[in-house]
């Protein structure tokens, strides 16, 4: 970016970059190896406290900074081409391996912030608008005055979050990112429902959903003039009399966080497709590109075209006549075009059982092939249908694949008209919807939060707590929320009962990590943390009457739960002082009542009395034990 840009100079007024060395380090020096490093988290807090929110800055992140793309790119490009919405500094997150696109290097209104550098924490903490299509770092805390739009990155064909077969509580990162969003973009009611369920938003999130379509699909429906022809030339696609352009775009396979791919299966499938009268392209994970190229060179395959990853999938779809995919949500992006879709589900039972899917085969638009022979026959049949179809036929309105395809268009892409980017910008900047469906997740019922923590008091106390949770969920008069450390040892039997309640219990898991403190906060915190087994009232009183502690725990509550409000908070036995202090913030923004915080076990108070007798407050013995306890917790990272 042009370093003399007035937009950039104004945005950096509070960054204290007094020298060229400081400026270079601001952009390039990593504060730590990842977002959990304390130096990164502390820098973010300092920037949040010292620098006001800047309404002229928009921060974008796509897939943890992997690239410029997806829905955030659609919003970015629309804003740059429509100056009537205002003049903004556009800040793009970029990871350590990412390269800055040449066309934006000297743009006066675009800048790139590498993850875990000071520039990243500075702009993320001060941007007036944050736009992300996945999960932001756990330290992100939406400030008053900030708007955070989560666009997500596809309609959930695969199960997500707590709804995946192997999930216990779901995704702690996903829970956090959606709890902190103020605006959520959705293409349809189906997607809204699945996202609310997967990430336990009922009774927690204060965000507004707007079902207005996906900005990235604008690129497919309304491509830039001449783009399809340029792409066909660049990819080496011949005229249609050489056969339709067919794209095979399977999803990436993984099991237990490990990548899994059947290379032989893929190569044999591509070889079978190569025998047909088509022009075949493959778009998959970049790790497979080299394998396919090597197979082509070795004459195991014919000429399979592998489009470079610099070409976005939505641009690529503009030149695709037939799409073949499996469990990838790419077919939802192709659906508005009306062109044929083939779902190649050769491992349907295994994949659905291990990963989970949200649609039955009878709900899928287009054709379904369950083996390689069916795949060849299906594609051959579609090629003939295309040849016989009138050139004047409008496939968008009259798809070749009939009524089920048309019904899927109505269900999954009712708002895709090429103007979703415009609506997304108006939603984010002006809260303007213009008659499109909106939704919030709070509802009219009171909310009962069950603050579980690690549930380390033993099975008897945990069972008592969880039975109360299930009793609350069975009531039609309140929404139940379980706030729980993702490592909490809840039995399989209780987990089955919890899952059976579905959305009646929002399971908000979190990943416990030590608090990030500023130097001026450490003394007060150290003194507070030296107390063990304090009762809730004592903790709440100390936090309420100490400005530093109040700031620390308000910050931590918002980091986890943003503006969540609970009418009743039930406390598990043996919660740490940290958890009790965070829980004490749960009613700060709601009407206090006598039963707002309800301890569910007398065992804890008995233990507290025993501790008080053996380790009197203020005694040297108590201070020694507390110090050793803190040292032990520090060693095990808790």
Q: What is the pLDDT of residues 309-368, one digit of tens each?
A: 899 999 999 999 999 999 999 999 999 999 999 999 999 999 999 999 999 999 999 999
The answer to which of 107-111, 152-156, 249-253 has the lowest mean pLDDT is 249-253
**3-class DSSP state for residue 506?**
strand
Mean pLDDT of 358-383: 98
The answer to whether 89 touches 11, Cβ cutoff 8 Å, is yes
- Domain(s) of CATH 3.40.50.11820: residues in the chain: 6-218
- Domain(s) of CATH 3.40.50.12580: residues in the chain: 228-414
pLDDT band for position 531 (cuts 50, 70, 90): confident
- Inter-helix orientation angle 118-126/20-28, to 10°: 80
Neighbours of 356 (CB within 10 A): 17
Q: Is the pLDDT of residue 437 over 60?
A: yes
Q: Where are the alpha helices (DSSP H) in 127-239?
A: 172-179, 189-198, 215-221, 227-235
| Cα 273 from Cα 243, distance rounded (Å) | 12
pLDDT at 595: 44
Mean pLDDT of 293-315: 80
Mean pLDDT of 536-545: 93
Q: Is the pLDDT of residue 633 over 60?
A: no
pLDDT band for position 574 (cuts 50, 70, 90): confident
Q: Is the pLDDT of residue 261 over 70?
A: no
Fold of 6-218: Rossmann fold (3.40.50)
Q: Is the pLDDT of residue 471 over 90?
A: yes
Q: Is the pLDDT of residue 630 over 90?
A: no
| Cα 458 from Cα 469, distance rounded (Å) | 17
Q: Is the pLDDT of residue 592 over 50?
A: no
pLDDT band for position 252 (cuts 50, 70, 90): confident
Measured between alpha carbons, how far is residue 341 from residues 102, 221, 302, 333, 357 in Å? 35, 16, 23, 11, 18
Strand partners, 415: none
The first and second tokens of residue 461, run together, are 């106390």
Mean pLDDT of 27-35: 95
Q: Which CATH superfamily is domain 228-414 in?
A: CDP-glycerol glycerophosphotransferase, C-terminal domain (3.40.50.12580)
**3-class DSSP state for residue 63?**
helix
The answer to which of 101-105, 368-372, 595-599 has the lowest mean pLDDT is 595-599
pTM of the model: 0.91
Q: Is the pLDDT of residue 298 over 60?
A: no
The answer to which of 277-291, 370-384, 389-403, 485-499 has the lowest mean pLDDT is 277-291
Mean pLDDT of the chain: 90
Mean pLDDT of 573-597: 71
Q: Is the pLDDT of residue 297 over 60?
A: no
């Amino acid at each position: 970016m042009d370093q003399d840009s007035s937009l950039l100079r104004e945005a950096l007024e509070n960054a204290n970059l007094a020298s060229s060395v400081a400026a270079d380090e601001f952009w390039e020096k990593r504060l730590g190896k990842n977002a959990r490093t304390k130096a990164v988290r502390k820098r973010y807090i300092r920037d949040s406290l010292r620098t006001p929110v800047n309404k002229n800055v928009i921060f974008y992140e796509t897939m943890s900074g992997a690239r410029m793309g997806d829905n955030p790119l659609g919003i970015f490009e629309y804003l740059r081409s429509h100056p009537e919405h205002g003049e903004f500094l556009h800040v793009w997150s970029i990871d350590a391996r990412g390269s800055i696109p040449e066309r934006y290097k000297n743009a006066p209104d675009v800048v790139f912030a590498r993850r875990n550098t000071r520039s990243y924490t500075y702009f993320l903490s001060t941007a007036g608008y944050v736009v992300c299509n996945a999960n932001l770092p756990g330290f992100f805390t939406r400030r008053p005055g900030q708007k955070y739009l989560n666009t997500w990155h596809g309609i959930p064909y695969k199960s997500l979050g707590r709804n995946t077969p192997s999930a216990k509580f779901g995704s702690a990162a996903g829970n956090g990112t959606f709890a902190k969003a103020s605006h959520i973009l959705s293409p349809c009611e189906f997607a809204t429902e699945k996202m609310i369920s997967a990430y336990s938003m009922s009774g927690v999130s204060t965000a507004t959903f707007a079902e207005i379509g996906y900005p990235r699909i604008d690129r497919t429906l309304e491509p830039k003039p001449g783009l399809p022809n340029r792409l066909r030339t660049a990819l080496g696609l011949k005229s249609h009399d050489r056969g339709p352009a067919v794209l095979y775009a399977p999803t990436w396979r993984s099991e237990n966080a490990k990548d899994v791919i059947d290379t032989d299966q893929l190569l044999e499938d591509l070889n079978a497709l190569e025998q047909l009268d088509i022009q075949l392209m493959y778009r998959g994970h970049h790790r497979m590109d080299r394998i396919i190229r090597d197979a082509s060179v070795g004459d195991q395959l014919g000429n399979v075209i592998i489009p470079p990853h610099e070409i976005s999938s939505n641009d690529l779809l503009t030149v695709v006549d037939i799409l073949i995919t499996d469990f990838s949500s790419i077919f939802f992006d192709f659906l508005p075009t009306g062109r044929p879709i083939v779902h190649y589900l050769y491992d349907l039972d295994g994949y659905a059982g291990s990963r989970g899917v949200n649609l039955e085969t009878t709900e899928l638009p287009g054709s379904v092939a369950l083996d390689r022979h069916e795949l060849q026959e299906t594609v051959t049949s579609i090629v003939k249908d295309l040849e016989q179809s009138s050139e004047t036929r409008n496939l968008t309105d009259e798809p070749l694949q009939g009524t089920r395809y048309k019904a899927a268009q109505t269900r999954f892409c009712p708002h895709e008209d090429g103007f979703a980017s415009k609506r997304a910008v108006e939603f984010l900047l002006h809260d303007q919807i213009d008659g499109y469906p909106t939704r919030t997740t709070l509802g009219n019922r009171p909310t009962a939060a069950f603050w579980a923590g690690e549930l380390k008091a033993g099975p008897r106390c945990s069972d008592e707590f969880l039975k109360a949770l299930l009793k609350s969920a069975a009531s039609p008069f309140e929404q139940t929320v379980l706030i729980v450390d993702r490592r909490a040892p809840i039995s399989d039997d209780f987990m089955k009962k919890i899952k059976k309640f579905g959305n009646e219990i929002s399971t908000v898991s979190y990943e416990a990590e030590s608090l990030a403190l500023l130097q001026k906060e450490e003394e007060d915190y150290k003194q507070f943390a030296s107390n063990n087994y304090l009762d809730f009232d004592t903790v709440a009183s100390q936090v309420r009457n100490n400005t530093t502690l109040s700031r620390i725990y308000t910050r931590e509550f918002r980091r986890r739960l943003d503006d969540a409000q609970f009418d009743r908070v039930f406390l598990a036995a043996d919660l740490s002082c940290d958890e009790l202090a965070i829980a004490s913030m749960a009613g700060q923004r709601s009407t206090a009542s006598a039963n707002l915080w309800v301890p569910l076990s007398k065992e804890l108070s008995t233990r507290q009395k025993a501790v008080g007798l053996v380790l009197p407050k203020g005694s040297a013995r108590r201070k020694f034990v507390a110090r050793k306890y803190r040292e032990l917790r520090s060693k095990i990272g808790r």
